[in-house]
Every structure is written in C-alpha cells, then in structure tokens.
Amino acid sequence: MKVVIQRVTKASVTIDGNKVANINNGLLILLGIVNEDTQEDINWLSRKIVGLRIFNDEAGVMNTSILNTKGDVIVVSQFTLHASTKKGNRPSYIKAAKPDVAIPLYKNFIQQIEHDLGKKVQTGEFGADMKVELLNDGPVTIIIDSKNKE
C-alpha cells in the first residue's frame, strides 16, 4: 500500500461537476493498493499518518500531528501510484489491485483512519474520474510505502 500525503490549506474533489469533498487545513491522502496489501498494512499506515508530525507548532517548526491540529482529511484512491515505467513510455498498472481486492481495502483504510483520527474523513469515489484541487501548504508532500516499513 502506497500513499502520497500532502499537507494542504484547502483541498477538494469534484466528480461530474459536483464537489463531493472539501476541506480546509489538513491532509489530502492519495492511496494506491496492490494485491498483497492486508489489514496489517492499513493499520500500520493509518497509525503512521495520524502520528506524522508535519504541521507547524507555535515556533513554526514541523512538530505537530493532524491529531493535535484537529485538521481534516480527504482520502482519494489512485491506482496510478503503482505505475511501472521501466519499459517504454506508456506506464503499466499491472501491480495495482483490481476493484474486487482494492475496494474493500480502500473502505477499510478509510474506516481505520477515521478510528485513529477520531473523526469522519471525506473521500473521493473509487474508480470515478475525479478532479482533485489542492493548495499544498509548505509545500509538504510525504510518500510512504507500507512495504518499506523496516
């Protein structure tokens, strides 16, 4: 499981002209899932994300987590995070999990983030053509792969 985490001052997701998610200060999380991912990956990633000290404290130092800032979160599924660009110029998405595997893991990830964060998170829609808009704060962008946790 791979995530791209972006600290944002605002972010939104629009599908077919309808804004389905909209936050101010918080995190935009892009989530990529592979067939080998499990609940263990979800649990580890969620704890890691919620505990990441990437928000500024009173001294302007990145020393505060999303829990402390009480910021909001949007989670967006993004299979292209597992693109392989080894051969040719057209990315291969063979590693990305198919919907029958990915959708339950995506839903479980959202539930786990909500549990660890202690509040509801907003989401895109799995498999939809989404327009994601954000204002990256910092910019702060962190990439985490659950397969590289040791």
- Residue of 14, 38, 55, 79 with catalytic role: 79
Query: 80: which 2 tokens?
Result: 């292209």
Contact 121, 50 (CB under 8 A): no
Amino acid identity, position 53: R
- Residue of 6, 9, 69, 78 with catalytic role: 78
- Residue of 38, 39, 80, 141 with catalytic role: 80
Q: Is 78 a catalytic residue?
A: yes
Q: Is 112 a catalytic residue?
A: no
Q: Is 79 a catalytic residue?
A: yes
Distance, in Å, from the CA atom of 83 to the CA atom of 93, rounded to the nearest integer, reads 5
Coil, helix or strand at residue 91: coil
- Residues with catalytic roles: 78-80
